[in-house]
């Protein structure tokens, strides 16, 4: 349990193609790989990686990689289930997922033997720890797409992930369309709620170890920023190389802002709402806060930050934010 909590905190603080069809169709036939898409070279933190031809058996290991591949029309034969969804390892927002279930692979410490047994010709690991040893082992199994240049652990920007995966799968134009579509959805939500513009927001987490808050390089904060919010300057001032800063009980007042969003992690929401220090915050006393239940679909959607989870998060979360801001 603690390992999974640690993965989410840095994934919150360390804290997401084979079409497997029986008729023998190739990935290019089922996903419509674009003309001239190969060879394709992707710039990664480990240097440029070239995919020579359309992949037939894809393993998706990184945070959100499986849902990104699915959004682009490719079904991985193996995938990591970072948020322990169970089943095919994807969120409930995935309506048209796998025609054939993937083999579920471990997350922080995947079984390389299990991966090799799947005989992949492409491994997606675009949002991962970025460890050289992990990359070296995976690339010894198959062509591996690691995190982009300049990325930190588990913090690959969504647009970069979509672009890298789309290029590797031979559908770069489809990737561009998907990025544009998501940008338009955010723009529409922001236009529908001009009251969000310029409001400060704190995205906090509460675990058995205490409080923390996310800085602007984290996907959860970026979700709010794309709606027009500004990350809490007091939190942002503490940002170092990490994307999550601890907050002591004595300094809990720094969470105060125009809007407070709290994500309990493996603790009951009541441990937040019944906390006397939490109740004393002006933002809480004014009702300008929202606590998402640990493991709730909405909390998972903004945490996974995938091409498929974001539309669900916009639909479910934006109305709740609007209520609190008003």
DSSP string computed for 294-325: TT-HHHHHHHH--TTHHHHHHHHHHHHHHHHH
The reported pLDDT for the residue numbered 31 is 52
| Residues comprising the chain, all counted | 326
Look at residue 90 in the predicted model and tell me its pLDDT.
Answer: 97
- Bridge pairing between strands 78-80 and 103-105: parallel
Query: 239, 245 in Cβ contact below 8 A?
Result: yes
Question: Distance of alpha carbon 92 from its chain centroid, rounded?
Answer: 15
Q: How far apart are the first and last CA of the chain?
A: 38
How many helices (H) and strands (E) are present in the chain, helices listed first?
Answer: 14, 13
> pTM value?
0.88
Are residues 253 and 279 in contact, defined by beta-carbon separation less than 8 angstroms?
Answer: no
Q: What percent of the chain has pLDDT over 90?
A: 83
Task: State the pLDDT at residue 32.
Answer: 62
Q: Are 315 and 302 in contact (CB under 8 A)?
A: no
The residues near 275 (Cβ < 8 Å, ≥ 6 apart) are none
Crossing angle (nearest 10°) for helices 297-304 and 309-325 = 120
Spans in the chain with pLDDT lower than 70: 1-32
CA 84, distance to chain mean position in Å, is: 14
Angle between helices 172-192 and 309-325 (to 10 degrees): 10
CB 66 within 8 A of CB 79: yes
DSSP state of 249: G
Decide: 97 and 318 in contact? Cβ < 8 Å.
no
Q: How far is CA 112 from CA 58, 116, 197, in A?
A: 14, 6, 46
What CA–CA distance (Å, rounded) separates 110 from 80?
A: 8
What pLDDT score was predicted for residue 157?
93
In angstroms, the Cα distances linking 173 to 19, 44, 82, 179, 180 are 20, 20, 28, 10, 11
Instruction: Name, in order, each residue with C-beta under 8 angstroms of 212's C-beta and a sequence gap of 6 or more.
Output: 9, 12, 13, 204, 205, 206, 244, 245, 246, 247
Both tokens of 40, joined, read 């394709």
């Amino acid at each position: 349990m603690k390992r999974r909590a640690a993965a989410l905190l840095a994934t919150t603080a360390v804290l997401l193609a084979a079409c497997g069809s029986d008729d023998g169709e190739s990935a290019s036939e089922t996903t419509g790989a674009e003309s001239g898409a190969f060879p394709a070279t992707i710039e990664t933190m480990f240097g440029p990686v070239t995919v020579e031809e359309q992949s037939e058996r894809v393993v998706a290991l990184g945070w959100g990689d499986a849902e990104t591949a699915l959004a682009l029309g490719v079904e991985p034969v193996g995938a990591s289930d970072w948020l322990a969804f169970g089943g095919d390892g994807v969120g409930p927002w995935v309506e048209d997922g796998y025609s054939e279930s993937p083999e579920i692979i471990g997350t922080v410490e995947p079984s390389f033997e299990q991966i090799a047994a799947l005989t992949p010709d492409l491994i997606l690991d675009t949002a991962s720890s970025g460890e050289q040893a992990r990359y070296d082992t995976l690339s010894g199994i198959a062509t591996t797409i690691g995190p982009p240049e300049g990325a930190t652990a588990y913090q690959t920007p969504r647009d970069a992930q979509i672009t890298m995966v789309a290029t590797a799968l031979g559908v770069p134009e489809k990737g561009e369309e998907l990025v544009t579509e998501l940008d338009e959805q955010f723009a529409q939500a922001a236009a529908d709620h001009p009251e969000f513009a310029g409001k400060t927001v704190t995205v906090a987490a509460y675990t058995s170890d205490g409080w923390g808050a996310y800085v602007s390089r984290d996907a959860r904060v970026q979700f709010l920023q794309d709606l027009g919010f500004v990350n809490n300057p007091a939190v942002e001032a503490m940002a170092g190389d990490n994307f999550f800063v601890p907050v002591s009980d004595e300094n809990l007042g720094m969470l105060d802002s125009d809007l407070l969003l709290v994500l309990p992690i493996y603790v009951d929401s009541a441990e937040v709402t019944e906390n006397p220090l939490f109740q004393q915050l002006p933002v809480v006393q004014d009702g300008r806060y929202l606590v998402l239940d640990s493991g709730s679909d909405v909390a998972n959607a903004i945490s996974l930050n995938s091409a498929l989870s974001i539309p669900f998060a916009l639909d479910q979360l934006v109305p709740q934010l609007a209520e609190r801001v008003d």
